[in-house]
Amino acid sequence: MTPTGAELRERLDAPGYVVVDDVLDEAEIIAPLLACLLRRVEELAGRSLRRDRPDHEVLSEALEELTASGRPWSAQALDLSLPQGGVKAETPMLLEPEVFALLAAPRLLDVVASVIGLPVWLSPVGHVRVKTPEAAGARQDGLTGRVPWHQDNGVLLPEADETEILTVWIPLVAVTRTSGALQVHPSPRGTALAGHCPSQGGPSIPGSQLPEGEPVVMEMRPGSVLFMHSRTIHSSLPNLVPHHVRVSYDLRYQAVPEPTGRPQYPSWLLRDASGAAVATYEDWRDGWLEARDRAAGQEQGSFNRWRADSTLCA
């Protein structure tokens, strides 16, 4: 049974996270999205792949082969948003209907609305993570490797510090302690924003600033969704499973259009105050393409507040 909105808000107040099972239909949402990712990987590999196994297994093998071969490929080609700087007219994104079907899935938005209320806006902050096995020589950037301890509020500009932003983390494959599950430090609402330091995987909280006690490992199955508030302290474990890629999406929703903490990029009204659907796939796709046109070759300004030369990061 799905928790009520009041129950979800209580869990988000303390300990700061809650998993809701069976939010997304595997056949309707997850399987088409995996197939969509696989088609893009075929483009990156320059060849068709045998489809005699489940798509996530074929996807894992293809990405592992690309990584091991040294053939240039970028996880940005699978992502649903623009990077933080260095945008070019040809910067790739995967802006396909199957991706928008996940972002605007009615059952998912029902749960989101029960937590933050209406209207529901989709933030520009969101990514796909294709966590390749570390033993395969995986690159350790934020899209393919470990994500360090952080708070999602900490990867945004200060303008969004008072905005209630709901983090939604969605695995497309089963995730376990050994395959790259998220881990969470219980973080009651009102937890202070910790200092972060720049790192390869994104802004990170130094070990000296982390809470005491063991984190909780979030083993999850496809169709389940993890919800967190913006100050929940979390990271990902390494993927140690050979020939397996952990695929997940992390999204952000809010009840106001801005500030989002990413003023360079657009947000979209998915449900209005009456609960009616508003933004279409074309609105979302065109919004990103127009943002890319504006950003191409231009300085985008700062995307976060942290400096490597601060005393905290020394």
Q: What CATH number is given to the structural domain containing 27?
A: 2.60.120.620
Residue 139's domain spans which residues? 7-298
Does residue 258 lie within any of the structural domains?
yes
| Across 206-218, average pLDDT | 95
Q: How does the average pLDDT of the chain come out, rounded?
A: 92
Does pLDDT of 210 surpass 90?
Answer: yes
The predicted structure's pLDDT at residue 140: 56
The predicted structure's pLDDT at residue 302: 86
Does residue 312 lie within any of the structural domains?
no
Does residue 314 lie within any of the structural domains?
no
Does pLDDT of 138 surpass 70?
Answer: no
The predicted structure's pLDDT at residue 113: 97
The predicted structure's pLDDT at residue 46: 83
pTM here is 0.95
Domain total in the chain: 1
| Across 199-221, average pLDDT | 93
- Residue 135 vs residue 80, higher pLDDT: 80
The predicted structure's pLDDT at residue 227: 98
Does residue 303 lie within any of the structural domains?
no
| Across 294-312, average pLDDT | 89
Does residue 289 lie within any of the structural domains?
yes
Does pLDDT of 166 surpass 70?
Answer: yes
Q: How far is it, in rounded angstroms, from Cα 289 to Cα 87?
A: 11
Does residue 32 lie within any of the structural domains?
yes
pLDDT band with cut points at 50, 70 and 90 for residue 13: very high
Does residue 1 lie within any of the structural domains?
no
Does pLDDT of 139 surpass 60?
Answer: no
Does residue 148 lie within any of the structural domains?
yes
Using a pLDDT cut of 70, give the percent of the chain over it.
97
